[in-house]
Amino acid sequence: MELKKAMEQRRAVNYFDPHKDVGDEELRAVIRTASLAPSGFNLQPWELIVVRSLKDRERLKEAAWNQQKIVEAPVVLIVLADMQGWQPESHTFGKVWQNMVDLGYIKPEQREWLENGTKKLYGGGEKSVAFAVKNAAFFAMSLMLAAKDAGLDTHPMDGFDPDAVRHAFSIPENYFIPLLIAVGHMNAAMKLMPPKWRKSYEDIVLRQY
Protein backbone atom coordinates (compact mmCIF):
# COMPACT_ATOMS: atom_id res chain seq x y z
CA MET A 1 0.00 0.00 0.00
CA GLU A 2 1.29 3.47 -0.83
CA LEU A 3 1.92 5.77 2.14
CA LYS A 4 -0.68 8.31 1.03
CA LYS A 5 -3.28 5.56 0.74
CA ALA A 6 -2.41 4.19 4.17
CA MET A 7 -2.68 7.68 5.63
CA GLU A 8 -6.08 8.21 4.00
CA GLN A 9 -7.46 4.81 5.02
CA ARG A 10 -6.17 4.70 8.58
CA ARG A 11 -9.04 5.40 10.95
CA ALA A 12 -9.56 5.20 14.69
CA VAL A 13 -11.89 2.20 14.62
CA ASN A 14 -14.34 1.94 17.51
CA TYR A 15 -15.79 -1.49 16.77
CA PHE A 16 -13.59 -4.54 16.29
CA ASP A 17 -14.54 -8.04 15.17
CA PRO A 18 -13.90 -10.20 18.26
CA HIS A 19 -13.79 -13.32 16.08
CA LYS A 20 -10.91 -12.20 13.86
CA ASP A 21 -7.52 -12.65 15.47
CA VAL A 22 -4.19 -10.98 14.80
CA GLY A 23 -1.49 -13.60 14.40
CA ASP A 24 1.74 -13.42 16.35
CA GLU A 25 3.91 -13.16 13.23
CA GLU A 26 1.50 -10.63 11.77
CA LEU A 27 1.95 -8.42 14.83
CA ARG A 28 5.70 -8.98 14.88
CA ALA A 29 5.95 -7.78 11.27
CA VAL A 30 4.00 -4.61 12.07
CA ILE A 31 6.23 -3.87 15.08
CA ARG A 32 9.39 -4.52 13.05
CA THR A 33 8.23 -2.03 10.44
CA ALA A 34 7.30 0.54 13.09
CA SER A 35 10.75 0.17 14.65
CA LEU A 36 12.14 2.04 11.62
CA ALA A 37 10.71 5.24 13.11
CA PRO A 38 13.24 8.01 13.84
CA SER A 39 14.39 8.92 17.32
CA GLY A 40 16.84 11.31 18.94
CA PHE A 41 20.38 9.84 18.73
CA ASN A 42 18.62 6.62 17.62
CA LEU A 43 17.93 5.88 21.29
CA GLN A 44 14.47 4.43 20.53
CA PRO A 45 13.00 5.04 24.01
CA TRP A 46 9.87 3.02 23.37
CA GLU A 47 8.64 -0.35 24.53
CA LEU A 48 5.32 -2.17 24.34
CA ILE A 49 3.30 -4.40 26.58
CA VAL A 50 1.22 -6.70 24.37
CA VAL A 51 -2.09 -7.60 25.96
CA ARG A 52 -3.72 -10.61 24.28
CA SER A 53 -5.56 -12.73 26.82
CA LEU A 54 -9.19 -11.83 27.44
CA LYS A 55 -8.60 -11.92 31.19
CA ASP A 56 -5.88 -9.29 30.93
CA ARG A 57 -7.84 -7.20 28.44
CA GLU A 58 -10.67 -7.19 30.97
CA ARG A 59 -8.22 -5.88 33.58
CA LEU A 60 -7.04 -3.22 31.16
CA LYS A 61 -10.62 -2.28 30.33
CA GLU A 62 -11.30 -1.52 33.99
CA ALA A 63 -8.39 0.93 33.97
CA ALA A 64 -9.46 2.46 30.66
CA TRP A 65 -12.89 3.87 31.33
CA ASN A 66 -14.53 0.53 30.44
CA GLN A 67 -14.04 1.03 26.72
CA GLN A 68 -15.58 -1.99 25.01
CA LYS A 69 -13.09 -1.94 22.15
CA ILE A 70 -10.41 -3.15 24.56
CA VAL A 71 -12.06 -6.54 24.90
CA GLU A 72 -13.33 -6.68 21.32
CA ALA A 73 -9.92 -6.08 19.73
CA PRO A 74 -7.77 -9.24 19.90
CA VAL A 75 -4.67 -7.23 20.83
CA VAL A 76 -4.17 -4.05 22.83
CA LEU A 77 -0.74 -2.46 23.07
CA ILE A 78 0.35 -0.43 26.07
CA VAL A 79 2.86 2.05 24.65
CA LEU A 80 5.68 2.90 27.04
CA ALA A 81 7.98 5.92 26.78
CA ASP A 82 11.24 5.45 28.68
CA MET A 83 12.11 8.71 30.41
CA GLN A 84 15.53 7.28 31.31
CA GLY A 85 16.27 5.99 27.82
CA TRP A 86 18.86 8.71 27.25
CA GLN A 87 20.98 7.64 30.20
CA PRO A 88 24.22 5.64 29.67
CA GLU A 89 22.89 3.01 32.11
CA SER A 90 19.80 2.30 29.98
CA HIS A 91 19.59 -1.06 28.23
CA THR A 92 19.60 0.64 24.81
CA PHE A 93 22.34 3.25 25.13
CA GLY A 94 25.23 0.79 24.94
CA LYS A 95 23.84 -0.88 21.84
CA VAL A 96 23.32 2.50 20.16
CA TRP A 97 26.85 3.58 21.07
CA GLN A 98 28.47 0.40 19.75
CA ASN A 99 26.44 0.51 16.54
CA MET A 100 27.45 4.14 15.89
CA VAL A 101 31.11 3.20 16.39
CA ASP A 102 30.82 0.11 14.18
CA LEU A 103 29.20 2.10 11.37
CA GLY A 104 31.72 4.91 11.61
CA TYR A 105 29.37 7.65 12.80
CA ILE A 106 31.59 8.41 15.79
CA LYS A 107 34.98 7.32 17.10
CA PRO A 108 35.49 5.08 20.15
CA GLU A 109 36.99 7.98 22.11
CA GLN A 110 33.78 10.02 21.66
CA ARG A 111 31.73 8.07 24.20
CA GLU A 112 31.87 10.95 26.69
CA TRP A 113 30.73 13.36 23.97
CA LEU A 114 27.67 11.22 23.33
CA GLU A 115 26.84 10.90 27.01
CA ASN A 116 27.18 14.64 27.56
CA GLY A 117 25.11 15.41 24.47
CA THR A 118 22.17 13.25 25.47
CA LYS A 119 22.29 14.57 29.04
CA LYS A 120 22.29 18.17 27.84
CA LEU A 121 19.35 17.61 25.52
CA TYR A 122 17.21 15.22 27.55
CA GLY A 123 18.44 15.19 31.13
CA GLY A 124 16.01 15.88 33.93
CA GLY A 125 12.39 16.85 34.52
CA GLU A 126 10.30 18.04 31.61
CA LYS A 127 13.09 17.45 29.11
CA SER A 128 13.17 13.74 29.94
CA VAL A 129 9.39 13.47 29.63
CA ALA A 130 9.40 15.34 26.30
CA PHE A 131 12.22 13.15 24.98
CA ALA A 132 10.40 9.95 25.86
CA VAL A 133 6.93 10.96 24.72
CA LYS A 134 7.78 12.61 21.40
CA ASN A 135 9.93 9.68 20.32
CA ALA A 136 7.35 7.13 21.45
CA ALA A 137 4.77 9.13 19.45
CA PHE A 138 6.91 8.73 16.30
CA PHE A 139 6.87 5.00 16.94
CA ALA A 140 3.14 4.84 17.72
CA MET A 141 2.16 6.67 14.54
CA SER A 142 4.49 4.48 12.50
CA LEU A 143 2.91 1.41 14.10
CA MET A 144 -0.61 2.47 13.17
CA LEU A 145 0.41 3.14 9.57
CA ALA A 146 2.28 -0.17 9.40
CA ALA A 147 -0.83 -1.91 10.73
CA LYS A 148 -3.02 -0.29 8.09
CA ASP A 149 -0.53 -1.29 5.41
CA ALA A 150 -0.80 -4.87 6.68
CA GLY A 151 -4.61 -4.80 6.48
CA LEU A 152 -5.21 -4.23 10.18
CA ASP A 153 -7.22 -1.56 11.97
CA THR A 154 -6.22 0.38 15.08
CA HIS A 155 -7.49 2.85 17.63
CA PRO A 156 -5.17 5.04 19.73
CA MET A 157 -6.58 5.71 23.18
CA ASP A 158 -6.00 8.53 25.65
CA GLY A 159 -8.96 7.49 27.78
CA PHE A 160 -7.37 5.57 30.63
CA ASP A 161 -6.09 6.04 34.16
CA PRO A 162 -2.28 5.87 33.89
CA ASP A 163 -1.84 5.04 37.56
CA ALA A 164 -4.36 2.20 37.35
CA VAL A 165 -2.69 0.80 34.21
CA ARG A 166 0.72 1.08 35.86
CA HIS A 167 -0.49 -0.76 38.94
CA ALA A 168 -2.41 -3.45 37.03
CA PHE A 169 0.56 -4.34 34.81
CA SER A 170 3.45 -3.59 37.22
CA ILE A 171 4.97 -0.90 34.98
CA PRO A 172 8.14 0.72 36.42
CA GLU A 173 8.17 4.42 37.20
CA ASN A 174 10.73 5.28 34.51
CA TYR A 175 8.03 4.75 31.89
CA PHE A 176 5.51 7.41 30.91
CA ILE A 177 2.39 5.79 29.43
CA PRO A 178 1.31 8.04 26.53
CA LEU A 179 -1.38 5.87 24.95
CA LEU A 180 -2.96 2.49 24.35
CA ILE A 181 -3.46 1.12 20.84
CA ALA A 182 -6.16 -1.43 20.03
CA VAL A 183 -5.25 -3.62 17.04
CA GLY A 184 -7.54 -5.89 15.06
CA HIS A 185 -10.10 -5.92 12.26
CA MET A 186 -13.06 -3.59 12.06
CA ASN A 187 -16.42 -5.21 12.68
CA ALA A 188 -17.94 -5.27 9.19
CA ALA A 189 -21.46 -5.14 10.66
CA MET A 190 -20.81 -1.64 12.00
CA LYS A 191 -20.90 1.60 10.04
CA LEU A 192 -17.69 3.57 9.66
CA MET A 193 -18.45 7.25 10.01
CA PRO A 194 -17.09 9.73 7.44
CA PRO A 195 -13.57 11.08 8.01
CA LYS A 196 -13.50 14.14 10.27
CA TRP A 197 -12.37 17.61 9.26
CA ARG A 198 -8.64 18.21 8.90
CA LYS A 199 -6.78 21.52 8.93
CA SER A 200 -5.91 23.01 5.56
CA TYR A 201 -2.45 24.15 4.50
CA GLU A 202 -3.46 27.69 5.42
CA ASP A 203 -4.63 26.57 8.86
CA ILE A 204 -1.40 24.72 9.53
CA VAL A 205 1.22 27.18 8.31
CA LEU A 206 1.39 29.94 10.90
CA ARG A 207 4.15 31.98 9.25
CA GLN A 208 6.48 31.94 6.28
CA TYR A 209 9.84 33.72 6.16
Mean pLDDT of the chain: 97
The alpha carbon of residue 199 and the mean position of all alpha carbons in its chain are separated, in whole angstroms, by: 24
Least confident of 71-75, 80-84, 162-166, 191-195: 191-195
**What are the strands of the beta sheet with 153-157, ordered from one edge?**
46-51, 75-82, 175-184, 153-157
Determine how many CB atoms are found less than 10 A away from the CB of residue 74.
23
pLDDT of residue 1: 72
Domains defined for the chain, CATH in brackets: 3-188 (3.40.109.10)
CA 135 to chain centre: 9
Q: 167-187, pLDDT tens digit by residue?
A: 999 999 999 999 999 999 999
Q: Could you report the per-residue pLDDT of 12-49, keeping only the tens digit for each?
A: 999 999 999 999 999 999 999 999 999 999 999 999 99
Query: Per-residue pLDDT for 52 more than 90?
Result: yes
* Strand-pair partners of 76: 51, 182
Query: How far is it, in rounded angstroms, from Cα 118 to Cα 86?
Result: 6
Mapped onto helix, strand or coil, the DSSP state of residue 67 is coil
Confidence (pTM)? 0.97
Please say if the pLDDT value at position 192 is more than 80: yes
CB atoms within 10 A of CB 116: 11
- Find out whether 157 and 180 touch, Cβ atoms under 8 Å: yes
Residue 119's SS3 state is helix
